[in-house]
Structure 1
Amino acid sequence: MSKEGIISLGEAFVDLISADQTNTRYQQFLGGATVNVAVGASRLGIPSYYLCKLGTDTNSLFVADALKKENINIDYCVSSSEKKVCSVYIHLDEVGDRYFHKYVNETPDEWLTVDELEKELFHTGKIFYFSSGTLFNDKARKTTEQALTYAEESHMLVSFDANIRLKRWESEEKCRERVSSFMKRADLVKLTEDELLFLTETNTMEESLVKISNLNIPFLFITMGEEGACVLHDGKRINVPGIKVKAVDTTGAGDAFFAAILSRFHEKGVPVDDSQLKEYVQFANKIGAIATTKIGSL
């Protein structure tokens, strides 16, 4: 049987971005790193499945409708009358720059559970994708571990984005320990430059890449904003410069980058040489750059 599709496990958000500097009127957007990747992959023509728990509240209905409009399969999501989808408020400062203002989660213990996962789905998918957004909560972590086991048993490519948000963790030490342990089980990992330095507790890119190489991650992608990205593979580092654009909102650029990487691995397979790997990153840089030219993480 031919396997296809990217399965994303995570938590959906509603991003409420201020319409002006009074920070009293908001534009509503679909958000969340794993959602962004699922939508990005779908827009690039890859079958995408999203796994999460949704509620019956207004935000949940907005999320479900928006995902369907993006051709995301949500048949394997679970609905609960208790669940409230999280809201993230993004405000504008006096010079017009956006900043995180408030994160609202009314049901912090409502997550997809182990017994709510459909094992059969993993037999059909090609790539499994997750982030640390389901690792700081014990219930969500157990579900993630089970999903990861299903993916490994089904010989799926495993992809992981650290996407670290320290405010969600009880300590920096716990975050480093847990994120690093899951990175070891992934075939593809994406980090920002800051996340790389944080996880390795180093001060320079060179030092951090040496230290993280001990994890033996097959493909490690490091995004560096407008400077582009690099990939560490088979003991070699390949640098790929960024693409200059007039950025309006950088939120979600890294997610667009990773969606593009996953689309290339899905469509063309594991790169056969450094030249093909570089082409994958060049394509991802382009998609990430385009994502910054409009408001919203998508």
Structure 2
Amino acid sequence: MHVDLTDLRLFLNVAEAGTITGGAQATHMTLASASERIRGMEQDLGTPLLLRERRGVTVTPAGRTLLHHARQVLRQVERMQGELGDFGSGFRGHVRMLCNTSAISEHLPKVLCGFLAAHAGISIDLQERSSDEIVDALRNDVCDLGIVSDSVALHGLAHYLFRADPLCLVVPQGHRLAGRRALSLAEIADEQFVGLAEGSALHEHLAQHARRLGKRLSYRIRLRGLESLCRVVGHGIGVGIVPQAAAVRYGRTARIKRVPLSDPWATRNLVLCMRSLQELPQHVQLLVRHVLGQPARAARAAKRESPQQASGWA
């Protein structure tokens, strides 16, 4: 079977996008060229790599085997490029990173802007997912890094403390619940809520905990961002559950009050996760050290890390 790095990158992008069109766009290739390359790989191998369906493609068993090796090869190439970058004009590479709602909206923008400004040769594909989806993606080698709530099972992953990130209830000023010292989800589940759009990581997280109570939260409106959510709450439309960092940031301008949540799952930390720090390409390790903000300790941790490590660098 004759394949090159472009074939491997294309096939990986198609599998992640779920369509040949999406994979072609991610590889900066025309649809016709992408389809021809994939057909060529299938002809060389003598078996289908993809099942073409009406709404996209599904990877066959042979395709999953190719996918596994493609990821290994491309990661090794990125590692080589990163290490050789030490001798040239600097690090180069691409980082695939998945984060939950709080990390992507409240904590990461400033951190990543500083990193990208300092490293012109490195790009980051940042996407929002729920914490459960992120740890599954890491274990299946779909992404390089993830930032998740420490409430999910992290076995088999190296993980390090990133930020404290408790969730809290936000209510309008003067609301009957504004003076409460703490509340559980069970106590507020029948309230009218203002929330994030369906499919957002925080929305799915809250829906999951409501289902465990036998409840389904009632939303008057769902919005795309935490700032909009807080402002609508401030106008008396309903109550909301947001990361405490967002409640503090928008509290005065949105005219809201925050009330701590007493549920154990609401008292959480965000952790930066990966399969293994030592196995990451150099440019990804560089991002890890920047995100955690402690280069010297990061370097020492990389030498002694085991996949089951559960300590932070804080």
TM-score of the superposition, structure 2-length normalised? 0.25
Larger radius of gyration: 2
Q: Structure with the greater relative contact order (CA < 8 A, sep ≥ 6): 1 or 2?
A: 2
